[in-house]
Every structure is written in structure tokens, then in C-alpha cells.
Amino acid sequence: MAYELDLSQELSMVDPVFHVSMLRKCIGDPSHVIPTIDVKVTKELTYEEVPTAILDRQVNKLRNKEVALVKVLWRSPQVEEIIWEAEEAMKSKYPHLFESKDLVQGC
């Protein structure tokens, strides 16, 4: 109930055997092929999305505390995504996003 796939050399660190439940029928379309050079896939088969802007801010009230959230616009070479993230985590990792936001609020 498994298939062994003939993977490209750049995916040599991936086990080529997949259970049938993980496979889907695919009709090839050359316009959907994304070269891994454009995506910059790491050895761990991950890539980094870049936050480009803070769109909104809100505070969620829990029983005993408040959690500040920011709506972040993330971009990768092929996808644009908007996700609510914890404000403190975003400030520590990407302080440059908040510097420009503070300048706008100060005017």
C-alpha cells in the first residue's frame, strides 16, 4: 500500500516511499511548476516567509490577562497571506515593522 517515487536529486534527503493515502492524482501543468531556486528551499525543506506590513491591531481579553495581537501581511515568492500574530513575538523578531507604524501614529 505504498509507492516509491523517483524524486529529483535535490530531494535526495527525503524518503522516496509514500503511503497511498498521501498521494493524489496529478495532471501535469507546466505553468504550476515552481523552481526550488525561486522559493529558496532549505535543506530542512522549509522556506522563510517575510512579513511586509502590520495591517491592524487588537487586544483579546482572556479571563486573567489581555493578549495584544497584530494582523500581519506575509509574503513569499508565490503566496500572500494575512494572519493574526502575537504582538510581542512580532516586535522581538521584526522590530522594523513597528518603527514605521509608530512614526505614522505619531503624526
Q: What secondary structure does DSSP assign to 45-84, as a single string?
A: S----EEEEEEEEEEEE-SS-EEEEEEEEEE-SS-EEEEE
pLDDT at 47: 67
CATH number for 100:
2.40.50
Note whether 25 and 64 are same-domain residues: no
* pLDDT tens, position by position, 71-97: 999 887 667 888 999 999 999 998 888
pLDDT at 29: 75
Note whether 59 and 100 are same-domain residues: yes
Residue 44 lies in a domain: no
Note whether 54 and 100 are same-domain residues: yes
Domains held by the chain: number? 2
The reply to whether the predicted model has a pTM over 0.85 is no
Burial of 43 (0-12, 13-18, 19+ CB in 10 A): exposed
pLDDT at 38: 58
pLDDT at 24: 82
Note whether 64 and 30 are same-domain residues: no
Residue 45 lies in a domain: no
Query: By residue range, what is the domain housing residue 10?
Result: 2-39
pLDDT over 70, % of the chain = 77
Residue 66 lies in a domain: yes
Residue 61 lies in a domain: yes
N residues, the chain: 107
Show the low-confidence residues of the chain (pLDDT under 50).
101-107
Q: Which amino acid is at 27?
A: I
Pairing mode, strands 50-61 and 17-19: unpaired
